[in-house]
Structure 1
Amino acid sequence: MEKLMQVQEVFIEETFHASIERVFNAWTDPGKLLQWYAPAGCTIRFKTLNIVTGGKFHSCISNPVHGDCWCIGEYLEVQPYIRIVFTLINADENGQPINPTTIGMDADWPGETVVTVTFSEVEKGITRLQLKQSVSQDLAKKTGAYPSWLQMLEKMRGVV
């Protein structure tokens, strides 16, 4: 008997009642990112943030229950109003990659994932956002990463 095939990547699609420019800018304006790019009850701060192709970031999401979660990454592609692709790597406060298990993450969680966000105009003033992350959707749901994306995108609605 064949096992059901696991979804091999996170896939989230949301529609926003906002222009494609406003939705894209929520991902590229540092002031706007500070308002929404952390799950409910958490905050984010950036040591480094250069949102251009080849640019890098070093961020920390602070959770009042679980503490700080540092990440680094590189923007592999930033195409205005079309797509943003970046790596997401668990790191320490100094920006050095770390094994996710050292910060209490699931042993199956990869140290690096790639996030792809695409933007498309459904009609004037309505934008479809698709987010993919190169990790099993089942694992992302189990670890809380998937619901965290949903919470963040919900917060983003208040920014666009």
Structure 2
Amino acid sequence: MAENTVSEIERMVVTRVFDAPRELVWKAWTDPKYIMQWWGPKGFTVPVCEMDFRVGGKLLCRTKTPDGQEFWNAVEYHEIVPYEKIVSLMYFSDSKGNKVDPAQLGIEHEAIDGAYDVTTFEDLGNGQTKLTFIGNEPMESAKNSGQMDGWIEILDKVAAVVAGLVQAK
């Protein structure tokens, strides 16, 4: 039996249209002071967020669950096209950004080997921007594990950050 390749597996995809120019959506997604406001599903907080936003750079966030459990996430940046696309690899890590098996944290997570996360920012005109996040998880697994719902909650939090940026403009 042949193994599935990245192109044969339906990947998790979430989209959101924001009533904001692409530059503000990009800013909310790429500035650590705003990332701290939206990282993680509803009720999660981020006490620490460090970012080196460049190809080869890394984002490192200490995430706290509503019940007080803490863990680290890292994101490695592999491609950045300003205001258009970010290709990255997100994973659970230690405080130094070294990969940690999610099972060690009691977290169910299935990633597609060789797949990167891709985030695109599309200017729809009329002051609207479409953000599309394509995760490195299989869609079915993301639905079953709650990751899909988590990403929808994350995009709700991003929408609140973007709305604040629009008001401040």
Change (3 A) 1:66 1:135: farther
Question: How many residues are treated as equivalent by the alignment?
Answer: 154
**AA of the residue aligned to 2:30:** T
Structure with the bigger percentage of helix: 2
RMSD over aligned CA atoms reads 2.1
- For residues 114 and 68 of structure 1, the distance between their equivalents in structure 2, rounded to whole angstroms, comes to 25
**AA of the residue aligned to 2:111:** P
8 Å Cα contact 1:8/1:137 also seen in 2 = yes
TM-score, structure 2 normalization: 0.82
- 2:60 alignment counterpart: 58
- For residues 125 and 118 of structure 1, the distance between their equivalents in structure 2, rounded to whole angstroms, comes to 16
- For residues 132 and 83 of structure 1, the distance between their equivalents in structure 2, rounded to whole angstroms, comes to 11
- 1:44 alignment counterpart: 46
- For residues 135 and 151 of structure 2, the distance between their equivalents in structure 1, rounded to whole angstroms, comes to 10
- 1:127 alignment counterpart: 129
Gaps of 5+ in 1: 1-5
The percentage of counterpart residues that share the same residue type is: 28
Segment of structure 1 superposing worse, 111-120 or 80-89:
111-120
8 Å Cα contact 1:98/1:111 also seen in 2 = no
1:84-99 aligned within 5 A:
84-99=86-101
- For residues 47 and 119 of structure 1, the distance between their equivalents in structure 2, rounded to whole angstroms, comes to 22
**AA of the residue aligned to 2:118:** T
After the TM superposition, which segments of 4 or more aligned residues of structure 1 sit over 4 Å from their partners?
none
